[in-house]
Every structure is written in C-alpha cells, then in structure tokens.
Amino acid sequence: MTSTSPTETHVAPQADHGDPARSWLARIAEGRAWLFLAGLIICFEVWSRLSFGATFVLNPFNVQSIAIFAVAPLLLATGQTFVIISGGIDLSLGFIMGLAAVVAAHATNMAGVAMPVPLAMMLGILAAVLVAGVPGLINGLLISRLRIPPFIGTLGMFGVARGAAFLLAGGTTVPVQNSWFALLGNGRLYGVPYLVIIAAVFVVVMHYILSQTRFGQHNYAIGANVQAARRAGIDIRGHILRLYVLSAMCAGLGGALYAARFTAGAAQAGEPLLLDSVAAVVIGGASLFGGSGTIFGTVAGALVIAVIQYGLVFVNVEPFWQFIAVGLVIIISVLIDQAQRRFSGARQDE
C-alpha cells in the first residue's frame, strides 16, 4: 500500500486498465482459488500414493472424469457468478436445469420422428435453452418490476420449475433416442470429451461477456452501488431482466448436456448442483454481497468441488465425507476472503 500525494503522477504499470475482473483484490481471490486447487490435488496425490501406491492426478482417466464431473456444476456456476456479482442469487437454477434436461429429451425424441438425427439433436438443445429462458424471464420480471428480493423470487421459481419438470417428465426419467446426442455426451475429440470442449468454449465466452462488454461492466457497477449505476443512466430493470434470463439459459445448456451424457432427461438432474454452484462462486473469490468475482475464479471453485468429490471416492473415503469437506472449504474460503478484505480495507490516504 503506497500513499498517494496530490503531486504524484505516474502511469499505471499494468496493461489492463481498471478491469474490475482484474483488479488486484479480484486477482488475489482468483489466484487463491487456483492455489487452493493445486494444493488439493497435491494432497490427493500424496494420499493416493501412500495408501495405494498409485498416482492420482497423472492418471488421464481421473483427469477426464473430474473434468466431465465438473461440467454441469460449472455451467450453473457461471450463470450464478453473474447473478452473485450483481448482488443477487438464483436459487432456481438447479430445477431449471432439470426442466431443461427433460425438455431436451422430449424435444429430441419428437423432432427425431420427422427429421435427420443431427438436426433433431440441435433442435433438442435449442429447445432446452429457450425453455429454460422462460423461468429466467419470470425471475427477472419479478425481481426488476415487482421488486421481489432475488432470494424469494428465485426460491418461488425453484418450486415452480421443480413441479413443472416432474410433471413434464411424468414423474420418471425420459430416455433419449438419438445416436448423435449420445455421442455428444460421451464421445471424445483427440481424447478430450466433447462435453469438456463445449464447457471450455462456453466459459471463455462468458468470461468475455463479464470482463469485456458493457453488460459485464454494468453488472459489477450494479453489484457495488445500484444507486450510482442508476444515476449513471444504466437501465437497471433491463439489465436485471437480461441477467436472470442469461443465468437460466446457462442452466438450460447444463440440462441439455446432462441429457446428452446420460441419454436421458431427469427432473432432479440439477438438484444437488444448485448449492454446488453457489459454493463454486464463493470459493472462486466472489463476494456474496456483490460487486466482485470472476469467471475463471468460479472455474477454479467448480474444479475444487469436483476434485474433493472425486478424490475422496478415489482414495476410498465414505462418500458422506464429501459434504463435510465441501462445506468446510466454503466456510474457510469466506473466512479468508473476509480477513483479506479487512486487511486491505484501509484506504490509501486515511
């Protein structure tokens, strides 16, 4: 921390001028999540070698499994990152994903009757994403027009989407009859699963939107100071509306990919993933009070959770320990974050 006198003038040494996603606090938080991930992998590596004499991370099968395992929670978490940075939260994402998975299965099957297999697959995915946008739109309207707090509005939608998903699925899972869809969910390109490739491209696009567009910039501003954003002439209502549609569509894509991976749509597909998505965002360094967070931080957060869950199974620990471990990691992340903010809270000239 250097003090700034009024006569002091220098150019910022960094190349990235004022990118909130790259501000030093965010950089530390994001870096911390990646560091944590590295530490975690080393722990499991040592554990695995000592217990079984086998490598953990150098086994490509493990890496692949973890990556596939992380895809769905990551898709939910990228949407959740946007929402949490804006100062909100989206509790409906899990069942929107389930709804989308069921829609993807039904739509692909129905389209498959009348058209070629690849086209039916694409139509199924498109239908899943678009249908997911509907509850997102309702969330956005409730929150922006009727001023319902995000926690309550999306909690209501959590129930509605859940019921709708189960009704649409007829209370069971809906199998998908489409060879391309199955290939998408389980095939590989040069050894890399298609699902992982899709998720990687998606993450890059979302990072671009958050860090390089006006939408992203306004999202940070709204999360930090909605009053200031309004006074600056930002259309808050329109932004919030688009925001919840975006997060719901992320869940929609997650649902479609779920249906591809398991060649079936299930209403409960995203049920355990909602809290994982919030956890990934928090572990990734975002503040639940809004205004900070990055997509790549969230990627690290999602991988941390996936490594814990997969790693504990790999070293043969009872699966229930996963919940405890993830829970502890969340609490520790928030504690470190708070300590850091307190430490850096002192302003330059005060």
Considering the complex, state which of residue 162 and residue 207 has its C-beta at the smaller distance from another protein.
207
Considering the complex, state which of residue 21 and residue 267 has its C-beta at the smaller distance from another protein.
21
Q: What are phi and psi of 324, to 5 degrees?
A: -65, -45
Least separation in angstroms between residue 316's CB and another protein is 44
Considering the complex, state which of residue 143 and residue 221 has its C-beta at the smaller distance from another protein.
221
Least separation in angstroms between residue 20's CB and another protein is 5
> In whole angstroms, what is the distance from residue 77 CA to residue 286 CA?
11
What does DSSP say about strands 264-265 and 188-189: parallel, antiparallel, or unpaired? unpaired
Least separation in angstroms between residue 94's CB and another protein is 28
Considering the complex, state which of residue 105 and residue 229 has its C-beta at the smaller distance from another protein.
229
Least separation in angstroms between residue 27's CB and another protein is 11
> In whole angstroms, what is the distance from residue 130 CA to residue 297 CA?
27
Q: How far is CA 32 from CA 35, 139, 183, 226, in A?
A: 5, 32, 36, 28
Q: How far is CA 300 from CA 31, 120, 294, in A?
A: 9, 34, 10
| CA dihedral sign of residues 248, 337, 201, 39 | negative
Least separation in angstroms between residue 145's CB and another protein is 19
Least separation in angstroms between residue 225's CB and another protein is 5
Considering the complex, state which of residue 82 and residue 310 has its C-beta at the smaller distance from another protein.
82
Three-class SS of residue 265?
strand
Least separation in angstroms between residue 4's CB and another protein is 6
Considering the complex, state which of residue 18 and residue 60 has its C-beta at the smaller distance from another protein.
18
Considering the complex, state which of residue 121 and residue 210 has its C-beta at the smaller distance from another protein.
210
> In whole angstroms, what is the distance from residue 192 CA to residue 196 CA?
7
Considering the complex, state which of residue 210 and residue 303 has its C-beta at the smaller distance from another protein.
210
> In whole angstroms, what is the distance from residue 167 CA to residue 158 CA?
14
Where helices occur in the chain by DSSP H, the ranges are: 24-52, 60-85, 93-114, 117-144, 150-169, 179-186, 194-212, 214-224, 226-231, 236-262, 273-283, 295-314, 320-344
Considering the complex, state which of residue 221 and residue 246 has its C-beta at the smaller distance from another protein.
221
Residue type, 307: V
Least separation in angstroms between residue 345's CB and another protein is 8
Distance of CA 11 to the CA centre of its chain: 36
DSSP string, 168-216: HHTTS-EE---HHHHHHHH-EETTEEHHHHHHHHHHHHHHHHHHHSHHH
* Sequence-ordered list of residues with C-beta below 8 angstroms from that of 117, at least 6 positions apart, any chain: 178, 179, 180
Beta bridge partners of 188: 193
Least separation in angstroms between residue 294's CB and another protein is 12
> Under the rule (CB under 8 A), what is the footprint of another protein?
2, 4, 6-12, 14, 16-20, 22-25, 208, 212-214, 217-218, 220-221, 223-225, 227-229, 231-234, 291-292, 347-350
